[in-house]
Amino acid sequence: MNIENELKKDGIEVIRPLDGLSVTLIAKYVAEKFVSFFPFCRVNHHDLFAKITRINMYIANIPEGMAEANYFYKNSSIYFKEGLSIEEMKELCVHEFLHHFQEIKDQKGNLYRLGLCDYTGVRVHGEALNEAAVQLISSRILKKDKETVKYYGIEFSTTTPNYYPLICNLINQMAYVVGDVVLYDSTLYSNDRFKRAFINSTSETCFNKVEKNFDKIIESEEKIILESQKAQENDLNDKEIAKISSKIGIYKKIIQDTFIDTQNEIFTSYFNKRLDNLYSSQDIEDFRRKLYTYKDLLGTTENYSYFNNYYISLMEKLDEVYEKIMEGVSLVPYKRSFWQILFNKIQKLFGLSIEEQSVKSF
């Protein structure tokens, strides 16, 4: 199957190549934004500009509900929806170029790694996770302001209200746990640092669940789009419309439940594990601050109280930990060496402790 036919499968029809001047303007804009945001990036502006200008760019008919710009790795090309201004294409290209930058292919041109997404196994892992990471990073490169939005009954703040807002919110919570730099590094250079760091901070079970739930949210949103398109057909009767509406309602509930479940899984796994590694009053203070600040990242529904209840419960446990520290009780298990154990046994054999020996000799 040729490229044109593969694009048509996704509903994309090429109209014309983008003109050279537009490509140059886009490349200059993206290169400047990219280098200024990633000072650790291992390329300079000139090389990056040249890399972007070599990407084939096209104007195309793109179906409603699909992203207005799409990167197609099989021919390393970007397709922009017809009717976009040059300024709109510049911003959209930041996201699509990140996909180009992060892709790793074998000698035959087969894609086997794309940022957080791994294509080497029987099943593709991390596709939605990577899409969320790329979009979140794109919004930060473009310095987008936060907005408070509400989708599927979930209210939250985001820098990306129009593209993948729910999963972008969730990956932002994941980045809060392990640090932004680790997320940037794995997304750009297609490695497992972010995955390993998140597992170390939570658990492998948590990571696997979160990864699957990202895919579940995206799949449900795609089903809503398909059902909405069906509802726009003119020859539907009331019964068929009601059936479609019912399906959409089910998918919306799945998205809401999955989002809340994923969110709760992330912060409980992280803070529960960290609670077992507090050994000083400074550790406790840092823990309190990070837990309190987490509330600003949350998505909430009308009756959501899980985080508040969890916060109260954890504060009680923190008080217990603090009291133990103040009492001088060591929270780090003390492992004695073989010689220390032997020496203590000898002391007991003679019925003297170190303090008693010191007093008698004095």
Region class of 56: left (phi > 0), else alpha (psi between -120 and 50), else beta: beta
Instruction: Enumerate residues 6+ apart whose C-beta is below 8 A from 18.
Output: 26, 57, 58, 59, 80, 89
Q: Are 132 and 168 in contact (CB under 8 A)?
A: yes
More confident position, 362 or 273: 273
Average pLDDT of 325-331?
Answer: 66
Residue 18 Cα distances to 5, 23, 78, 272, angstroms: 20, 7, 10, 52
Nearest Cα neighbor of 173 from 38, 304, 311, 299 is: 299
Q: Does the pLDDT at position 135 exceed 60?
A: yes
pLDDT at position 341 is 47
- The model's pLDDT over 219-252, given as tens digits with 9 standing for 90+, comes to 999 999 989 888 887 788 888 889 999 999 999 9
pLDDT at 131: 97
Mean pLDDT is lowest, of 137-151, 274-288, 330-344, for 330-344
Q: Determine how β-strand 56-61 pairs with β-strand 69-72.
A: unpaired
- The answer on pLDDT for 336 being more than 90 is no
Residue 122: pLDDT band by 50, 70, 90 thresholds?
A: confident
Sequence-distant (6+) residues with CB within 8 A of 10 are: 63, 66, 70
Where are the alpha helices (H) located in 142-179, listed in sequence order? 165-178
As a whole number, mean pLDDT of residues 68-97 equals: 96
Phi, psi of 216 (to 5 degrees): -65, -40
pLDDT of 71: 95
Looking at residue 1, its pLDDT comes to: 53
- 169-204 core/surface letters (b: 16 or more CB in 10 A; e: else): bbbbbbbbbbeeebbbbbbbebbebbbebbbebbbe
The answer to whether the beta carbons of residues 113 and 120 sit under 8 Å apart is: yes
Residue 229's pLDDT is: 85
pLDDT value of position 236: 85
Structure tokens at 265: 């899984």
Residue 41 banded pLDDT, cuts 50, 70, 90 = low
Domains belonging to the chain, first-starting first, are 1-105 (3.30.2010), 126-331 (no CATH), 334-361 (no CATH)
pLDDT at 24 over 50: yes
